[in-house]
């Protein structure tokens, strides 16, 4: 090909490089802008990322790829498609048929139960007994007893399985059950396992006892896989004796509180039909982690108490806002009070709005937080949102040390939501969690009395306290709040 007389070969190469650079910059900016336009959840977020991508190429599109794309949801859905067993996040849909609970629930809770029908595939089931178990002193003995009494199966999931004194007791009990011919399965989160030192991690020690043990999405070098998110934060123990345990407590000596130096927490023992739902959650997670599918136990479990319950699974595979939506709907249904106890409180705009609305309606809205937090940066970030809540009448109290890991939501005197989730983005959007709805009077009143008793000996945090923070503290809190979605 003959070049024009006025254009030499080096000049043509330079021209092509120039236009290739222009096309690359413009193309990446346009791709990032269109993606932000189609996927961002708010106009402000979409407009911000579009502006950054167009005004600052190529840095803007690169920043959008690093921080603006929800790769957690993409990875979770990819894993869900790759696994024929799924990740257990059952989603019936907004048009699921509603069940009739008029014979087991008070009329004022029928709307909330209907919302649960469309957020969870599980129905509300009556006839359950619910026992509160405070700290390791009350929780671990009945859990170990249930393992010793098992004759057919023991299923255990935990995020952290320490191999100190109490951890060894569990390992030995599980090993003895396996020797008796019991089907013993233990699922430990692949990142949570790293809380123990190499050589002392639970999976290896359990396998030495001939216990079936597996890791949930463990990190690995080849092929490279390091997922800080998508963690299995559920805590489940189910046996064939018709009992199940769940709540916020991992397995470890840190949950012994008698000496006043441990971590205060709460676990729950369930007996009755709800146990089948909790068993099914474990088996779904086990199938995903191991590829081995097992059916839920046959036969009905007899009624054991007066509580109506439902399991709520949460995970980023499909409906990432399932649990957050349920919490907001529950708060909107409250008539008299909303009591919250949580170790990590990083509410989004919708939850802030629901709490503000409840307070403006004249409800007693109290949030109990730990004054000593094991993650100080979470405490700093949470203060950024407290002013909006207190301006509308929400009461904030900081309970005295030691650190409290308890997670409770109580409405009025007849509804509670308990389990593993915290009220932060990691629990509500990035982890796999299990919560249980409790529709009851006596049990919920006991939970409310527990929260109120702690609130009475806690320090009230006021707008004056918030405003007295020095400027360095305000800047620190705001910076950590800015990155709170990644905690």
Residue 467, token pair as written in the block: 């405003």
83 with 64: CB under 8 angstroms?
Answer: no
Q: Give pLDDT, residue 247.
A: 96
DSSP 345: B
In this predicted structure, the answer to whether residue 239 has a pLDDT above a threshold of 90 is yes
Using CA atoms, how far apart are residues 49 and 69, in angstroms rounded to an integer? 10
Q: What is the pLDDT of residues 110-152, one digit of tens each?
A: 999 999 999 888 999 999 999 999 999 999 999 999 999 999 9
What tokens were used for 357? 């609305």
Decide: 347 and 425 in contact? Cβ < 8 Å: no
Assigned token pair, 305:
């108490």
**Looking at residue 222, what is its pLDDT?**
58
> Sorting pLDDT into bands at 50, 70 and 90, what band is 221?
low
pLDDT at 193: 87
Give the mean pLDDT of 269-289: 94
Of 156-160, 302-306, 417-421, the one with minimum mean pLDDT is 302-306
pLDDT for 428: 83
Q: Are 366 and 455 in contact (CB under 8 A)?
A: yes
For every residue of 153-175, DSSP letters joined together read: EEEEEES-B--SHHHHHHHHHHH
Statement: residue 77 has pLDDT above 80: no
pLDDT score recorded for residue 223: 59
- Whole-Å CA distances, 273 to 130, 270, 297, 398, 413: 12, 9, 12, 37, 23
Give, to the nearest 10 degrees, the angle between helix 135-149 and helix 165-179. 10
Q: Flag the least confident range among 12-21, 82-91, 348-357, 446-455.
A: 82-91
d(CA 58, CA 52) in angstroms, rounded, equals 10
50 vs 242 pLDDT, higher one? 242
Helix/strand/coil for 417 = strand
* Distance, C-alpha 344 to centroid of its chain: 11
Count CB atoms within 10 A of the CB of residue 328: 21
Rounded to an integer, the average pLDDT of 255-281 is 90
411 three-class SS: strand
| 3 or 177: which leads in pLDDT | 177
Under the banding of pLDDT at 50, 70 and 90, the label for residue 6 is low
What pLDDT is recorded for position 317?
Answer: 62
End-to-end alpha carbon distance in the chain: 59
Name the phi and psi angles at 361, rounded to 5: -80, 0
Across the range 264-291, mean pLDDT stands at 94
C-alpha to C-alpha distances, 394 to 150, 194, 279, 335, 423, nearest whole angstrom: 46, 38, 37, 15, 16
Q: Locate 39 and state its tokens.
A: 């996927």
> With contact defined as beta carbons under 8 Å apart, do 361 and 394 qualify?
no
Whether 216 has a pLDDT exceeding 60, the answer reads yes
Query: How many Å apart are CA 11 and CA 9, to the nearest integer?
Result: 5
Contact (Cβ atoms closer than 8 angstroms) between residue 130 and residue 433: no
Mean of pLDDT over the chain? 87
Span 427-436, pLDDT tens digits: 888 888 999 9
- What pLDDT is attached to residue 30? 86
d(CA 426, CA 35): 24
* Beta carbons within 10 angstroms of residue 57's beta carbon: 19
Pull the structure tokens for residue 459. Answer: 């320090």
Q: Are 383 and 396 in contact (CB under 8 A)?
A: no
Mean pLDDT lowest among 34-48, 73-87, 367-381: 73-87
Position 57 confidence tier, pLDDT thresholds 50, 70, 90: confident
Q: What is the pLDDT of residue 387?
A: 92
Residues 6+ apart with CB under 8 A from 175: 206, 209, 210, 211
Q: Determine the pLDDT at residue 260.
A: 67
Whole-number pLDDT of residue 363? 98
Say yes or no to pLDDT of 84 above 60: no
pLDDT of residue 460: 96
Looking at residue 59, what is its pLDDT? 82
- The top-scoring range by mean pLDDT among 167-181, 211-225, 294-308, 471-485 is 167-181
Position 198 pLDDT exceeds 90: no
270 CB-side CA count, 13 A: 31
pLDDT at 226: 56
SS3 at position 312: strand
| Residue 110 Cα to chain centre, angstroms | 25
Per-residue pLDDT, 318: 58
Region of poorest pLDDT, from 41-45, 183-187, 259-263: 41-45
pLDDT on residue 133: 97
DSSP state of 217: S
Residue-wise pLDDT for 299-331, tens only, equals 888 899 999 999 998 876 655 578 999 999 999
Tokens of 382: 């949470």
Give the gyration radius of the chain's Cα atoms: 25
């Amino acid at each position: 090909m003959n070049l024009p007389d006025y254009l030499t070969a080096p000049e043509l190469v330079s021209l092509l490089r120039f236009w290739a650079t222009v096309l690359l910059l413009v193309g990446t900016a346009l791709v990032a802008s269109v993606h932000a336009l189609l996927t961002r959840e708010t106009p402000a977020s979409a407009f911000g990322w579009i502006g950054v991508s167009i005004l600052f190429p190529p840095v803007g599109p690169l920043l959008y790829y690093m921080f603006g794309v929800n790769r957690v949801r993409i990875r979770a859905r990819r894993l869900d498609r790759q696994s024929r067993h799924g990740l257990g996040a059952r989603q019936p849909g907004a048009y699921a048929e509603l069940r009739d609970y008029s014979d087991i629930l008070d009329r004022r809770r029928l709307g909330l139960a209907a919302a649960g029908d469309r957020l969870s595939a599980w129905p509300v089931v009556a006839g359950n007994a619910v026992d509160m178990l405070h700290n390791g002193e009350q929780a671990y003995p009945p859990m170990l007893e249930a393992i010793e009494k098992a004759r057919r199966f023991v299923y255990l999931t935990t995020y952290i399985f320490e191999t100190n004194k109490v951890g060894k007791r569990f390992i030995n009990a599980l090993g003895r059950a396996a020797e008796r011919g019991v089907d013993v399965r233990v699922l430990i989160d692949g990142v949570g396992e790293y809380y123990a030192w190499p050589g002392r991690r639970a999976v290896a020690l359990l396998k030495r006892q001939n216990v079936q043990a597996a890791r949930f999405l463990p990190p690995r070098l080849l092929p490279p896989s390091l997922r800080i998110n998508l963690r299995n934060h559920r805590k489940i123990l189910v046996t064939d004796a018709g009992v199940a345990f769940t709540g916020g407590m991992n397995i470890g000596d840190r949950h012994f509180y008698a000496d006043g130096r441990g971590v205060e927490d709460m676990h729950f023992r369930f007996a009755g039909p709800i146990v089948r739902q909790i068993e099914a959650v474990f088996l779904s997670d086990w199938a995903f982690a191991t590829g081995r599918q097992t059916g839920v136990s046959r036969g009905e479990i007899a009624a054991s108490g007066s509580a109506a319950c439902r399991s709520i699974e949460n995970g980023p595979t499909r409906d990432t806002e399932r649990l957050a939506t349920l919490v907001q709907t529950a708060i909107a249904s409250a008539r008299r009070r909303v009591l919250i106890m949580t170790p990590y409180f990083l509410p989004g705009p919708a939850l802030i709005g629901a709490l503000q609305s409840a307070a403006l309606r004249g409800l007693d809205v109290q949030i109990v937080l730990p004054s000593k937090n094991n993650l100080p940066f979470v405490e700093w970030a949470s203060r950024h949102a407290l002013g909006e809540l207190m301006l509308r009448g929400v009461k904030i109290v900081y309970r005295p040390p030691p650190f409290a890991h308890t997670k409770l939501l109580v409405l009025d005197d007849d509804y509670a939501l308990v389990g593993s989730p915290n009220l932060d983005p990691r629990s509500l959007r990035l982890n796999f969690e299990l919560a249980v709805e409790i529709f009851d009077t006596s049990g919920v009143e006991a939970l409310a009395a527990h929260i109120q008793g702690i609130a009475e000996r806690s320090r009230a945090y006021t707008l004056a306290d918030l405003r007295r923070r020095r400027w360095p503290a305000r800047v620190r809190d705001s910076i950590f709040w800015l990155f709170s979605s990644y905690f």
